[in-house]
Amino acid sequence: MTQVISVKFNDTGRSYFFDPGDISFASGEKAIVETANGISCVSVVEGNHEVSDESIVSPLKKVIRKADENDLKTLKQNKEKEASAFTVCEEKIAAHDLKMKLVRTEYSFDSSKITFFFTADGRVDFRELVKDLASHFHTRIELRQIGVRDEARMLGGLGICGQPYCCKRFLNDFEPVSIKMAKEQNLSLNPTKISGSCGRLMCCLKYEQESYEYLLKITPGVGFKVKAPEGIGTVIDVNYITGNLVVKPDTEEGIPFKTHRDRVKVLSRGRKAKIDEAQEKELEALE
């Protein structure tokens, strides 16, 4: 076991381990650390605690010290300069007539570099923009293109569930989400109902996918012909969570009855309904 602290470099979901050494940290405090990009002031999200050696990415870097009042003052000044730099960069993007959307500006702790995050539909030739920004700020400039999911993570907001975005709160990485998951979870394939504010499929489709994969294996789907104590018929409705089925008897006068997957035997599998080709392409674009 190794003693570490968990820190965040910004307000997104990803956190990192650092070696606290002989310093005791509490959640909410600030720490000064050194990274490949220089000195940074980070937020401690979990104080001194132990984790397994397997969860450590070597080498584990040491914390330099706790942040003092001067460090907090520098951090506040950087935030104020970021707002000003954002406005300047937007003006210069418009002046160069570039098809890009500025999302966020970040100053390094020692102000030796300014990073501008942006989104764009394709590649953007921003070489002249970088020169213009460097001559204005007299420091190192980095322009970094990000995806729409990263944009949502940076900006934050509320999802259709009423909760802050998962990517903003706790997701460390974006896991692949496919339209197949929405189909298997029997969700409406209306893009507005299964996509997040970023315009891509909601990350939460992944959360229950393993459970649905298991339930799909043990539960007859719509169109399956089954034999139940009440008779032989075709499944016309299914609740994968409860296991309840609605079966329509093969006889003309038969009234649909409700049963449970544990009480039926599958006689033949049904055919999956085909989706319109245009709708299929629209849904695939959300992945």
Preceding peptide of 229 cis, ω within 30°: no
Of 257, 240, 239, residue with least CA distance to 248: 257
pLDDT reported for residue 44: 92
Strand bridging mode 63-66 / 225-228 = unpaired
Predicted pLDDT at 51: 86
- 77 and 25 both lie in a single domain: no
* pLDDT on residue 224: 94
Q: Identify the pLDDT of residue 86.
A: 96
In a domain, 191, yes or no: no
Between CA 18 and CA 61 the distance in angstroms is: 6
Residue that terminates a domain, selected from 116, 132, 149: 149
Same domain for 116 and 77? yes
- Residue-range definition of the domain harbouring residue 101: 73-149
Angle at 27 between CA 149 and CA 154, to 5 degrees: 15
Longest CA span, the chain: 84
pLDDT tens for the 287 residues of the chain, in order: 889 899 988 877 678 899 898 899 999 899 999 887 788 899 998 898 888 888 887 788 889 999 999 999 999 999 999 999 999 999 999 999 999 999 999 999 988 899 999 999 989 999 999 999 999 999 999 999 999 999 998 888 998 889 999 988 888 788 889 999 998 888 888 888 899 988 899 999 999 999 999 999 999 999 999 999 999 999 999 999 999 999 999 887 889 999 999 999 999 887 665 666 676 677 677 77
- 57 occurs within a structural domain: yes
171 within a domain of the structure (yes/no): no
CATH of residue 106's domain is: 3.30.300.20
d(CA 148, CA 182): 20
State the Cα–Cα distance between residues 118 and 110, nearest whole angstrom.
Answer: 22
Residue 131 lies in a domain: yes
Q: Based on the structure, what is the number of domains in the chain?
A: 3
The string of DSSP letters for 35-81 reads ETTEEEEEEEEEEEEEE-GGG--SSPPBEEEE--HHHHHHHHHHHHH
Residues 80 and 12 in one domain: no
Give the per-residue pLDDT at 277: 67
Instruction: Please give the pLDDT value at position 2.
Output: 87
> Is 192 part of a structural domain of the chain?
no
Do residue 80 and residue 144 come from a single domain?
yes
Task: Give the C-alpha separation, 84 to 240, whole Å.
Answer: 53
Provide the pairing of β-strand 113-119 with 38-51.
Answer: unpaired
